Structure 1
């Protein structure tokens, strides 16, 4: 047992720069590794890592200006919740935000280096194949979960998917699986491209003449490239089978972003050609779309045109957005309180709806315009700092790809929330805060005086 434990800690986990944070870092790594398949157990480990870090770096955390702003932000949210028409729902809604401010504070102090980003990316990507595999079984073989194991696993498979015909795997709805796979696609493709670039440089025997310096542990091998390639394929097929138009579009955008970044014009042109072909089959005049529909699978163009779906006015996104904006106009300063969109919409439309399928509009309706602008300004400021750091690194830095993958992975999740809301799912909400914390943690580390006067330490 001890031997297996030693192998696990040596081969799976990575060391932390600061020895006193090693336990917290180990807890976070194991937590991420298990989180998407066993969310309850993974969440416990992630929370432990946050609490230990907050204890070890208490003064550093409370002196960080952005954490101070979030503390004040939390206090204002509490006050606004007291004035909500449904205070109970509003206070319950705080659970989807306020605890994550502590998660952000702790993880941004714990995560500091590109190596940690790389490790986090690997751990997130690890779950893609088993999760999509379960989705394939659910969609094609009618697999269902064992109810007695739900207390342990935290999920149960719905035969045929949720909703039927769209795989959802270990998530309660297909769109949540799509959100996870969008981020997983971004991270796995980033790891794969990083490995391919290194392999090309090695094979061409230019390593000694290049300014790039790779540690032996970071040199690629064909097995890791093959594994990442298979993972990207699984993520791609999984995204297609979620039948999420939102996710399809983001997958194409991500592929094009990487194509532009590494100069793979064939990937960019292929993505553009594929999109144009599908859109022409869906929306072009009959003399164009009729022959194209013989080539393009109906699975794609029928989904774009909603040909196989009934769309009552009450569940159209435009209807939801107009209602949310109406709520915003009625109470623009304080909003109606978190989680209050649902009862208000149900009272008006006689249909239950969990959210208005747009995070920004939901927040303006529920917490008011000023707080929403403050919140998104903070997130945007962190992203800008991350992009600025990425631009400041030399173009031949081996760590640029991994930071780029985190930046576009988080951005894709934000874009996903323009047409959906993932705030209410434990795993996707945590994933978003994990990515944001990691970006900010690396920014803080490299702005420190000791790092400003030294070269990147991969």
Structure 2
């Protein structure tokens, strides 16, 4: 079958042929380069907007986001951060459009399954370059298209010793690898069901991808990524396997907990630390940063952030204001509070923050009620991928990377389409 025809498989009937191809191409390129991905994704967005039925004003979720957009825009003229508040809106308002305009490509489980596979394939360059960076000494800059696209690839990672690959920073690479991990697990579960039926090249290929991505996750030295790798496994495998999986995971994690938790007797902690690599238990117990002042920790940032929200609860301080106000109150510079709800409340006010967080929680619950956590591992993987991203934003803000922001809204759009019965007029899944 010709490649173009294969790529047209699983296309929802409300999606145009060119839009469906552009959507897949853009998501495949997204991890490698936002610049390369923007053109096909923008075309897909235009096509999705033009052919979306029903129209946007008939969806109450869109009206909810319009109200949030109004609140955010009203906050900008009163911002402590001045003119920076206006470009700060770019991190939000265009994505409200994308949330609606990309939904035609995610209308069916088969379409979401295809997009899951595309995102997994697009993650391969991140894994390969990241492992090459730390294990083989690869470094940039790498340039294509007459220097239009440049991958800097810092020698030894950024920060040094931590895998960053094609991204500017290890925590961003960790966020991408963490959310795509449950998607890869869904592919592995699907392929694994065929393992005893018939052998093909897919099984060893997927196994290699699983091992490589686990290695890359570990080398990011991100505690969030490590936690995501563990949390995703029972969620993607599903409740039917919890009866043996959860006790098994608990036994595997017991030495880590004994090595990390304070107050554990040395009789238990020392043998546990002999089993668990020091790179893990030292990082989890924050060994390298145990002497940091409170103002440089998450707890210090969150306490100041809460006081800022209390001082200006209705319209906030403006986008990027935290980086201006925090040094005045704590004497240390930080660009953001490492928590998305707090960042929203500081930038645009508490009502806008509660509306965004409430919508996300509602869609997660609603999609569960509609059976997204059922028998299909791809649906469980999709739901878990968004949960992982949401958890990452509780202690960091990877959305300030354009790639993470785009994929987060696309995952949320997929939850939106899964939260309601399939609209009439769509062809059956193929």
Q: Check whether the contact 2:56–2:62 (CA below 8 A) recurs between aligned residues.
A: yes
1:6-405 aligned within 5 A: 7-18=2-13, 21-57=16-52, 60-146=55-141, 148-149=143-144, 151-199=147-195, 203=197, 222-263=200-241, 265-283=243-261, 284-309=264-289, 311-390=292-371, 400-405=376-381
Q: Give the stretch that moved more between structures: 271-280 or 139-148.
A: 139-148
TM-score w.r.t. length of structure 1: 0.87
Structure 2 CA distance for aligned equivalents of residues 272 and 135 of structure 1: 30
Q: Check whether the contact 1:61–1:109 (CA below 8 A) recurs between aligned residues.
A: no
1:68 CA drift (Å): 1.8
> Which residue does 2:423 correspond to in 1?
448
Q: Check whether the contact 1:357–1:417 (CA below 8 A) recurs between aligned residues.
A: yes
> Which residue does 1:424 correspond to in 2?
400
Q: Check whether the contact 2:134–2:156 (CA below 8 A) recurs between aligned residues.
A: yes
Q: Cα deviation per residue 1:392-418 (whole Å; 9 max; x = unaligned)? A: x9x6x6xx2211111111011101111
Question: Secondary structure of 1:293's partner?
Answer: helix
Q: Cα deviation per residue 1:408-456 (whole Å; 9 max; x = unaligned)? A: 1101110111111112100011111111112212334x243578xx9x7
Change (3 A) 1:19 1:244: closer
Change (3 A) 1:407 1:221: farther
Q: Check whether the contact 2:138–2:153 (CA below 8 A) recurs between aligned residues.
A: yes
Question: Secondary structure of 1:418's partner?
Answer: helix
Q: Check whether the contact 1:128–1:234 (CA below 8 A) recurs between aligned residues.
A: no
Q: Check whether the contact 1:37–1:153 (CA below 8 A) recurs between aligned residues.
A: no
Alignment size in residue pairs: 426
Q: Cα deviation per residue 1:227-270 (whole Å; 9 max; x = unaligned)? A: 22222212211111111111111211111323453416554333
TM-score w.r.t. length of structure 2: 0.92
Q: Cα deviation per residue 1:89-108 (whole Å; 9 max; x = unaligned)? A: 11111011100001101011
Change (3 A) 1:119 1:447: closer
Change (3 A) 1:233 1:114: same
Structure 2 CA distance for aligned equivalents of residues 116 and 20 of structure 1: 10
Change (3 A) 1:308 1:419: same
Structure 2 CA distance for aligned equivalents of residues 11 and 423 of structure 1: 32
- Dislocated runs of 4+, deviation >6 Å: none
Change (3 A) 1:151 1:331: farther
> Which residue does 2:385 correspond to in 1?
409
Structure 2 CA distance for aligned equivalents of residues 262 and 190 of structure 1: 15
> For structure 1, which runs of at least 5 residues remain unmatched after alignment?
1-5, 204-219
Change (3 A) 1:68 1:430: same
Q: Check whether the contact 2:27–2:122 (CA below 8 A) recurs between aligned residues.
A: no
Q: Give the stretch that moved more between structures: 302-311 or 172-181.
A: 302-311
Q: Check whether the contact 2:319–2:347 (CA below 8 A) recurs between aligned residues.
A: yes
1:83 CA drift (Å): 1.1
1:121 CA drift (Å): 0.6
Question: Secondary structure of 2:2's partner?
Answer: helix
Change (3 A) 1:68 1:409: same
